[in-house]
């Protein structure tokens, strides 16, 4: 009889452990889900093309810009073009709009702001382009809204944009 009691206690302990593990798992998923709903972060109020300048990158490694010093780790080359500025601008806008998760926030004749939302967790990065027609270049800035490191996502986005921009220009000429 004592062995039946021991077996029963073991079953009860296993059942309690399973329910506890299930509850913990659901709690983690729930908290993670709620946290990811906030992965967009608030829309920045300090972005834009102001007096020929895009916003500076923060000190965290989750932003790249063509307006940083060339020796800085957050520096990327601007998009450069020859020929008609309007043609180049339209190619850049088309290339940016074709990026994964892209959604236009603001578009003017010389400025474009796009939110790029990641598929998996819904993180939102801000991509800005600014046309400097007289100097035949398009300034670029891509930055994460949340977190410290972006694991190179913003730099990769700009390089993808650069390739698509070149392809768009080639097809439009």
Other Cβ atoms less than 10 A from the Cβ of 68: the count is: 17
Q: Look at the chain and report how many structural domains it folds into.
A: 2
Predicted local distance difference test score (pLDDT) of residue 33: 46
Please give the biggest Cα pair distance in the chain: 94
Identify the pLDDT of residue 16. 75
In a shared domain, residues 84 and 144? yes
Residues 16 and 45 grouped into a single domain: no
Q: Are residues 86 and 46 in the same domain?
A: yes
Residues 22 and 74 in one domain: no
Whether 142 and 130 share a structural domain = yes
Q: What is the pLDDT along the chain (173 residues), one digit of tens a residue?
A: 555 555 556 667 677 777 776 667 565 554 444 444 557 789 999 999 999 999 999 999 999 999 999 999 999 999 999 999 999 999 999 999 999 999 999 999 999 999 999 988 899 999 999 999 999 999 999 999 999 999 999 999 999 999 999 999 999 88
Q: Does 49 lie in the same domain as 36?
A: no
Specify whether 8 is located in the same domain as 25: yes
Same domain membership, residue 68 and residue 31: no
Q: Are residues 141 and 61 in the same domain?
A: yes
User: For tokens 């450069």, what's the residue?
Assistant: 80
35 with 45, same domain?
no
Q: In this structure, what are the phi and psi dihedrals at residue 106, rounded to the nearest 5 degrees?
A: -150, 135
Residue 14 structural domain: 1-40
Would you state the pLDDT for residue 30? 47
Domain match, 49 and 29 both: no
* pTM of the shown model: 0.77
Cα angle for residues 18, 24, 25 (degrees, 5° grid) = 90
CA–CA dist 49, 138 (Å, integer): 12
């Amino acid at each position: 009889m004592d062995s039946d009691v021991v077996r029963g206690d073991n079953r009860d302990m296993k059942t309690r452990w399973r329910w506890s593990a299930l509850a913990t798992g659901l709690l983690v998923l729930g908290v993670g889900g709620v946290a990811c709903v906030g992965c967009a972060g608030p829309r920045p109020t300090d972005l834009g093309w102001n007096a020929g300048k895009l916003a500076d990158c923060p000190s965290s490694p989750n932003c790249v810009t063509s307006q940083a010093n060339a020796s800085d780790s957050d520096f990327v080359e601007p998009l450069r073009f020859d020929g008609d500025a309007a043609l180049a601008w339209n190619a850049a806008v088309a290339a940016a709009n074709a990026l994964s998760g892209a959604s236009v926030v603001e578009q003017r004749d010389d400025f474009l702001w796009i939110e790029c939302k990641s598929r998996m967790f819904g993180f939102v990065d801000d991509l800005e382009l600014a046309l400097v027609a007289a100097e035949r270049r398009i300034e670029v800035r891509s930055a994460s809204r949340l977190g410290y490191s972006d694991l190179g996502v913003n730099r990769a986005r700009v390089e993808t944009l650069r390739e698509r921009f070149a392809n768009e220009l080639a097809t439009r000429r």
